[in-house]
Structure 1
């Protein structure tokens, strides 16, 4: 059942994600103004109670809180940079995907025009918006986040990362690195087992168990990284490198692509050559932190 709430919000951009954001605000009872370059995309939201602004300027004037979800950061600047658009006194929350440098530059640009600015990242698919499964990251001035937290809670599980406007984007891509690394490891293992007639569904529960077990190592490994000390409490990097060699050999023997394990072993070999062979696996943070 839709609740009644007097706090208004404007959503700029009505792609699938923008529509989901506006729909969540409406469901929570917030008076919601929407704008999109193609007005037809607003029809369903208007039927649910949203107000369609005829211009960007009208959309900005309708609410003190502006949620932006466009294709990229240049599109945000192009949309809002028109001289007739008054940003003074508004709070912009930009949930457009981009990088940390763009986030920081856009924050400076917005502040020069009298707006408050929070950058954000959506770690969810559109159907999850409005549920606890939707994780929405925010970075920028904490007071601005706290002031609008009651409205933002309508979107899902919202979190504040810090004053640096670039943090939301950095967390976003760090999360993607985790996601793809886990999926790639599973795909590699699945490809190997398929050569023995084991299907992906059979391997998946075992793979999930391994992934969950490795996740439990992270807090202890994080302590080592933050201390800059890597005592071999479990195994040495040299031991791990021998296991990597076995993975490469087995992959090649069964006819599976071995590029990924060869890459990781090359990093381990460099670390060992630098004198870290007797330390524990997180010492590879130095390799990951070195551009090549």
Structure 2
């Protein structure tokens, strides 16, 4: 690949130098943040044209992957997925001793642990990171970044990492940040698909969607105490009737499902919840609360 007028000179201050691999929207935001915070930033992307805006902002754009990795002791990867990360690491294996890899690519706990093991075999270090933010929020307190890996490595990299946003450290297990990340993302999608279902339902009834969304937002503010209560009930195994006894809730679910059916709105998710309630009631736990469904969710 040929990049016209690209800056390839590598600054000499290696202590404040970082390489960013991957310049999609998130990777570019990360690189811009490092540049703006005074780091000599080296950038690489498979499509080298994406380096140009970063070079214009002050980065050094390197077309050859091995040279980009060699340029810095700190290497940040932010690629499409961990399959792409595997391919990158495969190409630089054997030439990364002493380097710190900070992977900000979405992925699973098992993948994070595999990368940590790879780094150890290569005499390098690894920190796994996950981002709960939009690219526009990187570099601000709105950006939530989750990290896990060896504490000594994390502590040494903290001055760099904190430039990206609000930091939470989950401990030595390299996969711990991914556990929390995937769970939080899943909760978001579970809520949003439920929200879309209810929007479809109230839309068929002629309800103003904007006003409805505002009411839902207000209702959600009260869920914090309920979440804490449910966690406590699960820990104790007592399952007091939060939201009322299951047999009462199950009766209401017939109304919820029938209303959706009457408006030709999909009922699969609500029926799944009702089935769980019916199973729990059949097992003799109808006086318990909604949190008791936890007992069924780990069973096949």
Scaled by the length of structure 2, what TM-score is found? Answer: 0.90
Judge conservation of contact 1:25–1:154 (CA < 8 Å) in 2. yes
1:131 aligns with 2:140: yes
Residue matched to 2:53 = 44
The answer to which of 224-233 and 34-43 deviates more is: 224-233
Deviations 1:87-128 (A, max 9, x none): 111111111111111111121112111111111111112112
Instruction: Tell me, in whole angstroms, the C-alpha distance in 2 between the residues paired with 1:66 and 1:84.
Output: 14
Q: Post-superposition shift, 1:227?
A: 2.4
Instruction: Tell me, in whole angstroms, the C-alpha distance in 1 between the residues paired with 2:280 and 2:84.
Output: 43
Judge conservation of contact 1:119–1:168 (CA < 8 Å) in 2. yes
Residue matched to 2:230 = 221
In structure 2, the CA distance between the partners of 1:85 and 1:127, relative to structure 1 (3 Å rule), is farther
The aligned length equals 288
Q: Post-superposition shift, 1:236?
A: 1.4
CA RMSD of aligned residues (A): 1.9
Q: Post-superposition shift, 1:184?
A: 2.0
Instruction: Tell me, in whole angstroms, the C-alpha distance in 2 between the residues paired with 1:276 and 1:133.
Output: 42
Segments of structure 1 that go 5 or more residues without pairing to the other structure are: none
The answer to which of 74-83 and 122-131 deviates more is: 74-83
Residue matched to 2:178 = 169
Judge conservation of contact 2:230–2:242 (CA < 8 Å) in 1. no
Instruction: Select the residue among 92, 101, 118 that pairs with 1:92.
Output: 101
Judge conservation of contact 1:5–1:29 (CA < 8 Å) in 2. no
Residue matched to 2:197 = 188
Residue matched to 1:246 = 255
1:11 aligns with 2:20: yes
Q: Post-superposition shift, 1:162?
A: 2.1
Instruction: Tell me, in whole angstroms, the C-alpha distance in 1 between the residues paired with 2:284 and 2:168.
Output: 40
Q: Post-superposition shift, 1:85?
A: 5.1
Q: Post-superposition shift, 1:27?
A: 0.9
Scaled by the length of structure 1, what TM-score is found? Answer: 0.92
The answer to which of 244-253 and 208-217 deviates more is: 208-217
In structure 2, the CA distance between the partners of 1:84 and 1:271, relative to structure 1 (3 Å rule), is closer
Judge conservation of contact 2:66–2:92 (CA < 8 Å) in 1. no
Residue matched to 1:114 = 123
Instruction: Select the residue among 7, 32, 53 that pairs with 1:23.
Output: 32
